[in-house]
Amino acid sequence: MKVNTVITGTGCYVPEFIKTNNDFINQDFYTEENQRISTHPQEIVDKFRDITGIQERRYINDDMNSSDMATIAARLAIEESGIDPEELDQIILAHNFGNVTKNTIQTDILPALASRVKHDLGIKNPNCVAYDILFGCPGWLQGVIQADSFIKAGVAKKALVIGTETLSRVIDMYDRDSMIFSDGAGASVLEAVPAEDTTSGILSWTVQSHCVDEAFYLFLGKSNFPNADDKIRYIKMKGRKVYEYAMQHVPAAMKDCLDKANISIQEVKKIFIHQANEKMDEGIIKRLFKLYGVKDLPEHIMPMNIHKYGNSSVATIPTLFDQVKKGKFEEHAFDKGDIVLFASVGSGMNINAVCYRI
């Protein structure tokens, strides 16, 4: 029997603590060469806002961790789907740094975060397999692709896919790029539904990894602060390289995904792209439409929440999708049968895209 992979429930967790751009005005920033940047922090912050669009970001409370956020988002997704958690065949959890306890920089992934979420949800079924994936910012979407593959292969019927990250605990406060990162979690329940019963579901997907010159565009490195401890590592990014890579490869991958589904760009109602950088995301969408010979973008094609939430890596797309799905944006909505396109890019360097019919 042919089945479709359908998203039947979503949920997200957005941390309560808000860190605004104004909170960085008294911060000293340093270059990779450990030289203090003489430009006034206000000018640095204003330029940062103009490029990224970020005005605020969310940081997790001291007494919480990545797996805690994941459990909250998962409960909401399960509740909306209406499934019995014991019927889940898989829990796929995407992250990049595991649980990082406040005031430490050590990653804790023993046991895996997916196992912790299964434990916290009280799921006893041993055939519910819980595992983590590391795939950079595209991790949640890669989890969706894996779930779809297992479902289409007939070895799974229900899967919970989660993306969770606490980047606030692995950032170098002396690095300007640190202002882009934030925390959060998003989750979705995916189910096998007989194709004869629905037109909804995943239509196609595309995945790419470029790991030659591109492999270390994001990496762990020491603080920019002079005489910082060489043994402590923080998330680092070659911003210009990431931007150029995304502009070159992501639009083509998105088009490849639509072509596999035999869907034209004119049929796409919404594009949910990883909330990495406003200017970069806008540039990617413009180049995608340019590949189809279209110069003018449809109004409200691309929902964004990066302005208030920052870049929470694997959590950005599931959080944004959940918010739009639940009517949190007046200018964004979709109806049954609409086509949406998901796309992400991140460390690896990795790219993926999913074409989905609501």
**Range 83-111 average pLDDT:** 92
**Residue 148, C-beta contacts closer than 8 angstroms, at least 6 positions apart:** 5, 190, 202, 205, 354
Q: Mark whether 64 and 212 lie in a shared domain.
A: no
Q: Mark whether 192 and 208 lie in a shared domain.
A: no
Q: Mark whether 154 and 267 lie in a shared domain.
A: no
Contact 284, 250 (CB under 8 A): yes
Domain end point (choices 165, 197, 229) = 197
Q: Mark whether 144 and 212 lie in a shared domain.
A: no
pLDDT at position 137, please?
97
| Domain range enclosing 343 | 202-357
**Residue 213, C-beta contacts closer than 8 angstroms, at least 6 positions apart:** none
Q: What mean pLDDT is reported for the chain?
A: 95
Q: Evaluate if residue 179 carries a pLDDT over 90.
A: yes
Q: Mark whether 175 and 259 lie in a shared domain.
A: no
pLDDT at position 331, please?
87
pLDDT at position 195, please?
87
Q: Which residues of 299-334 are buried (b: 16+ CB within 10 A; e: fewer)?
A: eebbbbbbebbbbbbbbbbbbbbbbbbeeeeeebee
Q: Evaluate if residue 174 carries a pLDDT over 80.
A: yes
Q: Mark whether 151 and 278 lie in a shared domain.
A: no
Q: Mark whether 278 and 341 lie in a shared domain.
A: yes
Element (H, E) at 17: strand 17-20
Q: Mark whether 79 and 94 lie in a shared domain.
A: yes
Among 152, 140, 181, 92, which residue's Cα sits nearest to residue 352? 140
Q: Mark whether 228 and 162 lie in a shared domain.
A: no
Q: Mark whether 30 and 162 lie in a shared domain.
A: yes
pLDDT at position 19, please?
95
Domain end point (choices 197, 220, 249) = 197
pLDDT digits (tens, 9 = 90+) for 140-156: 999 999 999 999 999 99
Query: What are the tokens at 357?
Result: 């019919």
> Structural domain tally of the chain?
2
pLDDT digits (tens, 9 = 90+) for 282-330: 999 999 999 999 988 898 999 999 999 999 999 999 999 999 999 998 8
25 C-beta neighbours (distance < 10 Å), count:
14
pLDDT digits (tens, 9 = 90+) for 236-288: 999 899 999 999 999 999 999 999 999 999 999 999 999 999 999 999 999 99
Q: Mark whether 25 and 154 lie in a shared domain.
A: yes
CATH of the domain at 331: 3.40.47.10
Domain end point (choices 197, 215, 248) = 197
Q: Mark whether 320 and 341 lie in a shared domain.
A: yes
